[in-house]
Structure 1
Amino acid sequence: MHSSPRIRTSVAATVLALAVVAPTAAMAMPTAPKAPVEAKKSTQNYKGLPSGVSKKKTLVIGLDGAAAAQINEKNTPNLAALVKNGMLAKSNLYANPMAPTVSGAGWSTIATGVWPDKHKVPDNSFANPNYAQYPDYLTRLEIARAQSSTLVVGTWSPIPQKVFGEKTDLRLAGGNDAGTTAKTVDYLKNGNPDSTFVHLDEIDGAGHSSGSSSAAYAKAHATADAQIGQILAAVDERKAKKSEDWMVVITADHGHTPGGGHGGSSTGERATFVIAQGKGIEAGSVRHDVKISDIAPTVLKHQGVRIEDEWQLDGQAAGTIKADDFDSLRPHLKTGVDETKPGTTTTGWTTTAPSGWSIDNSAMPAGGVTEWQGWSFATDEFWTNVDLNQGRETSVHNRNVFAVADSDEWDDKAHAAGQFDSTLISPSYKVRGGKTATLSFASNYRIDGPQSGEVFVSFDGGEPRLLKSYDKNFNGVETISIDVPKKAKKAKVSFRYTGTNSAFWTVDQVSLKK
Structure 2
Amino acid sequence: MKDTDPDAVFVQLDNIDHAGHSHGAASSAYLDAIRTADAQVGQLLTAVTSRAGYAAEDWLIMVTADHGHTDAGGHGGSSRAERQTFLIARGSGVTAGSVRHDVRMPDVAVSALVHLGVAVDPAWGLDGRAIQQPVPDDFDTLRAALKPPADESGIGAGVVGFTHTPPAGWAVDNSRMGGGGVTEWRGWSFTTDEFWTGAQRDQQRELNIRARNVFAVADGDEWSDKAVTGTFDSTLISPAYAVRGGAAATLTYTTYYRHQAPQKGEVLVSYDGGTPALVKTYTADTSSRTESLRLQVPAGARTAQVRFRYTGGDNWFWVIDGVKITAS
Say yes or no: TM over 0.5. Answer: yes
In 1: Cα distance, 2:236 partner to 2:164 partner? 11
Indicate if the aligned counterparts of 2:244 and 2:302 stay in contact, CA closer than 8 A. yes
Q: Which residue of 1 aligns with 2:36?
A: 223
Q: Which residue of 1 aligns with 2:138?
A: 325
Letter in structure 2 aligned against 1:322: V
- Structure 1: any 5+ residue segments left out of the alignment? 1-187
Report deviation, 1:493: 0.2
**After superposition, where does 1:421-432 map in structure 2 within 5 Å?**
421-432=233-244
Indicate if the aligned counterparts of 1:449 and 1:500 stay in contact, CA closer than 8 A. no
Among residues 221, 231, 250, which one is paired with 1:408 in the alignment?
221
Letter in structure 1 aligned against 2:87: V
What TM-score does the superposition give when structure 2 sets the normalisation length? 0.97
CA RMSD, Structure 1 to Structure 2 (Å): 1.1
Q: Which entry has the higher C-alpha Rg, 1 or 2? A: 1
In 2: Cα distance, 1:471 partner to 1:497 partner? 11
Report deviation, 1:277: 0.5
Letter in structure 2 aligned against 1:321: P
Q: Which residue of 1 aligns with 2:91?
A: 278
Name the SS for the 2:2 alignment partner: helix
Q: Which residue of 2 aligns with 1:470?
A: 282
Among residues 105, 108, 112, which one is paired with 1:292 in the alignment?
105
Report deviation, 1:451: 0.4
In 1: Cα distance, 2:49 partner to 2:100 partner? 27
Question: Does structure 1 residue 460 correspond to structure 2 residue 253?
Answer: no
In 1: Cα distance, 2:50 partner to 2:310 partner? 58
Q: Which residue of 2 aligns with 1:156?
A: none
Name the SS for the 2:85 alignment partner: strand
Report deviation, 1:237: 2.5
Q: Which residue of 1 aligns with 2:319?
A: 506
**Residues 358-409 of structure 1: CA deviation (Å, up to 9, x unaligned):** 0000001221110111000000000111010011111111100000000011
**Residues 247-297 of structure 1: CA deviation (Å, up to 9, x unaligned):** 111011111001000000000100111110113422210010011211222
In 2: Cα distance, 1:242 partner to 1:455 partner? 51
In 2: Cα distance, 1:443 partner to 1:509 partner? 9
In 2: Cα distance, 1:391 partner to 1:413 partner? 21
Among residues 333, 338, 341, which one is paired with 2:151 in the alignment?
338
In 2: Cα distance, 1:224 partner to 1:276 partner? 16
Report deviation, 1:221: 0.4
In 2: Cα distance, 1:445 partner to 1:225 partner? 40
Report deviation, 1:325: 0.3
**After superposition, where does 1:90-489 map in structure 2 within 5 Å?**
188-416=1-229, 418-475=230-287, 476-489=289-302
In 1: Cα distance, 2:261 partner to 2:81 partner? 30
Paired residues, number: 326
Q: Which has the higher helix share?
A: 1
What TM-score does the superposition give when structure 1 sets the normalisation length? 0.62
Indicate if the aligned counterparts of 1:454 and 1:495 stay in contact, CA closer than 8 A. yes
**Percentage of identical aligned residues:** 54
Indicate if the aligned counterparts of 1:449 and 1:501 stay in contact, CA closer than 8 A. no
In 2: Cα distance, 1:511 partner to 1:346 partner? 29
Letter in structure 1 aligned against 2:103: V
- Structure 2: any 5+ residue segments left out of the alignment? none
Letter in structure 2 aligned against 1:459: Y
Q: Which residue of 2 aligns with 1:147?
A: none
